[in-house]
A and B are shown apart, each in its own frame.
Chain A
Amino acid sequence: MKKGFIGPIGDDLPSIISIMLALGIFFSAITYTLDIYNQKKVDSDLLKGSVEIARAIFDKGLLTTVNPALASYVGKSYALNYLTCMDESPCSCPANSYRFSYLVAMSSSGNNELHKLVICTWK
């Protein structure tokens, strides 16, 4: 047996530890980056979906009623769930949903009034 030889793995142990550490740092960074990317993609889809839903609902500018069904194709294309609610009415949006508010004009018996419309979106 050679002097100082402690086996094929044992001999390379110092470098193996450093390499493992390096790989750990590298792959942690990749995982973290992918996590951020995926989270931002979800955020971005929720916002884009909300804006598209708003566009579909406000298409005519002046509303007589809020018809969320108008935007169902948007919800499907972005694979998101959504809910609309007016003013102070109870809005049972899930805790993890995004809430975006808009100002809308609604016509009721010849009188046009402004209202706050909230659109919640979630995955």
Chain B
Amino acid sequence: MKGQAAVMDGLIFMLIASGAATLLLFVSGLYASSTNGQIASIYNSEYLGNALIALHYAKDTDGNWFWNELRTKLETKDKGTIEAYFNSAASQIWKNITYSSPAGDRTFICFDGLGLTDNCYPFGKVSLLSSTTVYTYSVKITPEIDVILKLYY
């Protein structure tokens, strides 16, 4: 009987130790996933913030301040005018944004306050994405219009 009791003690101890080990693994898993999320969030926000500051100083290929020209185009509230600007004088700027962006082609510049249904350039592409994680950073370009940089993952 003594031998059986000893085995039972050992098994109970093993059960407790396994429970503690499982708890530790669970906690470490939570810590690992939350840290990964925080790292991604910090970097993406930092990228977006820096990008908006850089855009503030950027000039288009016509030598005009990008921010001023964009404001003028946005005030027309015409999608065609905005798109034409990004396809001409601001094309190099847009190329540099997507080239440097960690999200690459899944980078969008959106305009809130224009009353457009599809308000993100390149137009007509956001709805095609099935992204679950989106990082955004915005700045007011006029009292009514916000420019928002978005990264879709």
* Partner-B contacts on A (CB < 8 A): 11-12, 14-19, 21-23, 25-26, 28-30, 32-33, 36-37, 40, 43-44, 47-48, 50-51, 54, 58, 61-62, 100-105, 107, 111-117
- As a 0/1 sequence over residues 81 to 109 of chain B, the CB contacts with chain A under 8 angstroms (1 = contact) are 00000000000110011011110000000
What DSSP secondary structure best describes chain B's contact surface?
helix
| A43 in complex: contacting residue of B21, B35, B47, B100, CB < 8 Å | B35
> Total A-B residue pairs with C-beta atoms closer than 8 Å?
137
Q: Which residues 50-88 of B sit at the A interface, judged by CB distance below 8 A?
A: 50-51, 53-59, 63
With contacts A47-B42, A116-B96 known, is A61 near B53, CB below 8 A? yes
Q: How far is the CB of B138 from chain A (nearest CB, A)?
A: 16
With contacts A12-B6, A54-B50, A114-B97 known, is A33 near B35, CB below 8 A? no
B50 and A44 within 8 A (CB): no
Query: Which chain B residues lie closer than 8 Å to A33 at the CB level?
Result: 24-25, 27-28
Query: Which chain B residues lie closer than 8 Å to A112 at the CB level?
Result: 57-59
B7 and A114 within 8 A (CB): no
Query: Which chain A residues lie closer than 8 Å to B36 at the CB level?
Result: 40
Q: How far is the CB of B135 from chain A (nearest CB, A)?
A: 14
Query: Which chain A residues lie closer than 8 Å to B27 at the CB level?
Result: 33
Can you list 20 pairs linking A and B with CB atoms under 8 Å apart?
A: A14-B3, A14-B7, A18-B9, A19-B10, A25-B18, A29-B20, A33-B28, A37-B28, A47-B43, A51-B42, A58-B50, A58-B53, A102-B50, A102-B100, A103-B96, A105-B53, A105-B57, A112-B58, A114-B55, A114-B58
For B51, give the chain A residue with the smallest CB separation. Answer: A103
Interchain residue pairs A-B with the least CB separation, the first 7: A18-B10, A29-B21, A116-B100, A22-B17, A15-B10, A15-B6, A105-B57
* Partner-A contacts on B (CB < 8 A): 2-3, 6-7, 9-11, 13-18, 20-22, 24-25, 27-28, 31-32, 35-36, 38-39, 42-43, 46-47, 50-51, 53-59, 63, 92-93, 96-97, 99-102
Query: Which chain B residues lie closer than 8 Å to A21 at the CB level?
Result: 14
Beyond A54-B50, A100-B43, 17 extra complex contacts between A and B, CB < 8 Å: A11-B6, A15-B9, A19-B14, A22-B14, A22-B15, A25-B14, A26-B18, A29-B20, A32-B24, A40-B31, A43-B39, A61-B54, A61-B56, A102-B47, A104-B54, A114-B58, A115-B96
